[in-house]
């Protein structure tokens, strides 16, 4: 089974090929160029790993935890 960004119907193999052809190594740049990860983002850790390792991930690929989202406010101290 070939993994893909299901929402955008983009195969990881195709995304890696595109990234190599365009010398893209940054996830945000690949998102901007292809639209991958732009809906549910379930694919995001796989694609981040793929760009870092220059190979197509599988379901067995051990993924690092996703970085915490950046936020200007602290939800634990917010009032209102």
Residues lying near ligand FES in the complex (CB under 6 A) are found at 5-8, 36-43
Of 8 and 29, the one with the shorter C-beta distance to ligand FES is 8
Of 7 and 29, the one with the shorter C-beta distance to ligand FES is 7
For every residue of 15-37, DSSP letters joined together read HHHHHHHTT---HHHHHHHH-TT
Of 48 and 72, the one with the shorter C-beta distance to ligand FES is 48
CA angle 43, 44, 49 (to 5 degrees): 105
Task: Please state the closest distance from residue 44 (CB atom) to ligand FES, in A.
Answer: 7
CA distance 27 to 31: 6
């Amino acid at each position: 089974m070939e993994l893909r960004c299901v929402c955008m119907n983009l195969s990881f193999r195709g995304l890696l090929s595109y990234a190599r052809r365009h010398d893209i190594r940054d996830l945000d740049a690949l998102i901007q160029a292809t639209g991958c990860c732009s809906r549910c983002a379930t694919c995001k850790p796989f694609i981040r790993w793929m760009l870092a390792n220059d190979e197509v991930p599988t379901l067995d690929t051990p993924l690092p935890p996703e970085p915490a989202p950046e936020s200007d406010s602290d939800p634990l101290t917010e009032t209102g």
